[in-house]
Structure 1
Amino acid sequence: MVSTLPSAPNDPLFGHNHFTPIRWVLAGLVALGHFWLTTTGYEPFRIHQWTGGYMAVNGFFVLSGLLIMKSLATRNDLKSYAASRLLRIYPALIAIMVAFVLVFSTLFSKPGGLVNLTSPDTWSYALRVLLMGDPQWAPGGIFAGNLEEDFNGPLWTIRYEMAAYVLAALAFFVGLAKRLWTTVLMLMGVAGIYFLAPLLSDVSNLPASIMPLFRLSTCFLLGMTLWHWPAGRRPPWWSIAVIAVLFAIFGAGFLGELLATLLLTGIMLRLGLSRRQFKPLLKLPDYSYGIYIWHYPIIQAVLFLIPGLGPFEVMAISTPLFILFAGLSWHVIEKPALRLKSRVSR
């Protein structure tokens, strides 16, 4: 029988780690790119063609795959797992959709007003997002006049995250994700399709959701693989340096994203699972999800009220606001919801 708990007792993954500050950094990279994207239409923080925000999303999914695999293996309880996942995603997502209906659709739209509050389009959009539909547009002239007339672009990843949760649980309970070699086979299959399909055919004719699904599934499966491979969770710094050199040379090619993701993963693992603990970082509350889902509509609201701001100006005004809302989301909604996990499981 193959053990589902391959990690040693002193593994930082089972104790104190620094993944929370790393998630802060990843969420900050996404927000940083949007300061420029919403004001200039271009994200300048990139190496080759890979932007900081793009790679931060990949990093989120690698960490998610690792931690979700840990949750499945240590609990081995589908009911508890499902309750945990729903309570992690939905309370804060419901809150921001309530804010969309009551505040953003009425005060930050043209023409706006209470007519949007009673509009079927407003409620159908909120319902579509909560049912994991496409969030890429919003009705009622939301943020009309802004360079990006979009309510909350970052929400596009949430439905892929939920899909990854479901597929990971399915793979685990049928046995495919309980062993290293089967997990590696799944990773190779999905990654092979993602990286080779554009070379073999024209993927632009595929539905828009297909290639992002393979991209984020590759990252998620990389994290799942790392659960089964404890030694891989502490890559030597020389190997990270080698990948950095390869990325610098070949990063613009078709394997550039793979090299960038491996480089980012190595850095996250070394810093996140460091055996040296920094107590101030260990006490950092996990605002990352709140930052991720709140920063974009707040940036858009600032630009709606004060048109013509540059990226540094919108950064200075909006950053304290979305960190405040992220803090409220964590302390008032997310953290209390997570305390319900054991009760809901019972």
Structure 2
Amino acid sequence: MKTNNLNFLRLIAAGLVLYGHSAIFLGHPEPLFLSWMPLGPLGVAIFFIISGYLVTQSWQQDPNLRRFFIRRCLRIFPGLIVCVLFCIFVLGPWLTSLPLKQYFAHEATWNYLRNIGLYITFYLPGVFEHGRVPNAVNGSLWSLPLEFFLYFVVAVLGLISTKKWITIATFLTSALFYLCWAQSATEMLVVYGTDLRQLFINGTYFWAGAVFYQLNLKRYFSITSVVLAGVGILCIQTNFPQYLFFAGWFLLPLIVLAFGLSTNEVLTRITATGDYSYGVYIYAFPVQQTIAFFYPHLNFGTYVALCIAVTLSFAILSWHLVEKTALAFKPRNPAFAGVSP
């Protein structure tokens, strides 16, 4: 069992996405963190930072393509498959405005299965047609193809070279594409159903996490470094807000990883029964849509509390019935039996 705070931190990140989306579903502006970043994107950035660090660690400790991708697939696809099938065969028939025969005869119903192949499709016919986020059954899935593509890049770069400079160069290239294109581009560039701008917006955080691992910056992690990084963000936000996104590529990963890789007995106990963050992430959006569909005038606090309770219930079931069972099949490196982040 992991003895660090990463499971707790991932759960918080998923909660930030849920909370940020809650405001949108009730027609409010999404809350900002320090007037810098909306809470939903902040949660996603935290996920990418942690992933960049751990996936790079996984490859470095066991650079075997077969084992590497089996581990990655077992982490993403079992839970995703069940979630997609639940939306098609339970949520859709329950909430669609179409007759069931027409719903199941509709091409879009079966196109929704493409989510299993990470070709993200949000639409199910007749479902959530008139909400504040219309026709989107599970808007949170957009990040999964980016995540999996970055796994692929980690493996390719690892096969090319074991030198640290290649990870640093990839981080700098991603940051450059963000600065020169992604942050200012007003039109999406879509490949395989994915907005490529996000590859650099969130990919830069992923590669920042990877650089932290490659440079072994863990030796500098402490509560002091977390506090200093937090103070640095506050000072930059107050005096030089135009540079906060740039400083955030270093300071946010420092806070996330220094806190996440530390150990706190209380936080460890909170997540001792399982890692529910992925389940919260993939189920929150359809749960929130459904609750907003039936109760569009709930006050914000009640809505958030209800969404958390229902989503967490799905996440617990997903972990214990699907994800945990699948992860038991993760292959082990014969030389390092304990390695499979």
Segment of structure 1 superposing worse, 178-187 or 59-68: 178-187
Go from structure 1 to structure 2 and tell me whether the alpha carbon gap of 1:112 and 1:49 turns closer, same or farther (over 3 Å shift): farther
SS of the residue aligned with 2:186? helix
Q: % of aligned pairs identical?
A: 26
Aligned residue-pair number:
324
Q: 1:212 to 1:114 in 2, by over 3 A?
A: same
C-alpha change, 1:125 and 1:17, in structure 2 (3 Å) is same
**Residue 170 of structure 2 is aligned to residue 219 of structure 1:** no
> Which residues of 2 match residues 230-249 of structure 1 at below 5 A?
230-231=216-217, 234=221, 236=225, 237-249=227-239
Task: Pick which of 209-218 and 90-99 moved more.
Answer: 209-218
CA–CA distance in 2 between the matches of 1:337 and 1:275? 27
Equivalent residue runs for 1:13-162 within 5 Å: 16-111=3-98, 113-126=100-113, 128-135=114-121, 137-149=122-134, 150-162=136-148
Partner of 2:284: 295
Kept after mapping to 1: 8 A contact 2:33/2:39: yes
| Residue matched to 1:314 | 303
| Partner of residue 179 from structure 2, selected from 195, 212, 232 | 195
Q: Does 1:272 align with 2:260?
A: yes
CA distance in 1: counterparts of 2:273 and 2:215, whole angstroms: 28
In 2, the alpha carbon distance for the partners of 1:275 and 1:298 equals 32
Distance 1:303 1:186, change over 3 A: same
- For residues 263 and 112 of structure 1, the distance between their equivalents in structure 2, rounded to whole angstroms, comes to 52
Q: TM-score, normalised by structure 1?
A: 0.86
Q: Provide the rounded CA distance (Å) in 2 between the counterparts of 1:309 and 1:38.
A: 11
| Conservation of the 8 A alpha-carbon contact between 2:5 and 2:263 | no
C-alpha contact (below 8 Å) 2:189/2:196 kept by paired residues: yes
- The runs of 4+ residues in structure 1 deviating greater than 6 Å are none
Q: Distance in 1 between matches of 2:234 and 2:214?
A: 25
Cross-structure match for 1:263: 251
Asked if the contact 1:108/1:304 (under 8 Å) is kept, the reply is no
The residue identity in structure 1 corresponding to 2:228 is W
After superposition, the CA RMSD in angstroms is: 2.4
Structure 1 segments unaligned to the other structure (5+ residues): 1-13
Q: CA deviation at 1:281?
A: 4.3
Q: Residue 297 of structure 2: SS of its match in structure 1?
A: coil
Task: Tell me by how many angstroms 1:118 deviates.
Answer: 3.5
Distance 2:231 2:176 in 1: 25
Do 2:174 and 2:204's aligned partners in 1 also have CA atoms closer than 8 Å? yes
1:122-152 Cα shifts (integer Å, max 9, x gaps): 01122x21222233x3031211221112111
Stretch deviating more after TM superposition (40-49 or 274-283): 274-283
Counterparts of 1:159-198 in structure 2, within 5 Å, are 159-175=145-161, 178-197=162-181
| Alpha-carbon spacing, 1:119–1:276, altered in 2? closer, same or farther (3 Å) | closer
1-structure distance, mates of 2:270, 2:214:
27
CA contact (8 A) 1:298 1:322 kept: yes
- Tell me, yes or no, if the aligned pair for 1:21 and 1:284 is still in contact at 8 Å: no
For structure 2, the residue ranges without an aligned partner over 5 or more in a row are 335-341
* Alpha-carbon distance between aligned partners in 1 of 2:27 and 2:187, rounded to the nearest angstrom: 29
Q: Distance in 2 between matches of 1:248 and 1:284?
A: 40
Deviation at 1:114, TM superposition (A): 4.3
User: Structure 2: how far apart are the matches of 1:190 and 1:140?
Assistant: 37
**Aligned-pair distance for 1:15?**
6.5
Larger CA deviation: 187-196 vs 257-266: 257-266
Quote how far apart the aligned CAs of 1:305 are.
Answer: 2.0
Taking structure 2 as the reference length, the TM-score comes to: 0.87
Rounded Cα–Cα distance in structure 1 between residues aligned with 2:207 and 2:296: 42
Conservation of the 8 A alpha-carbon contact between 2:88 and 2:112: no
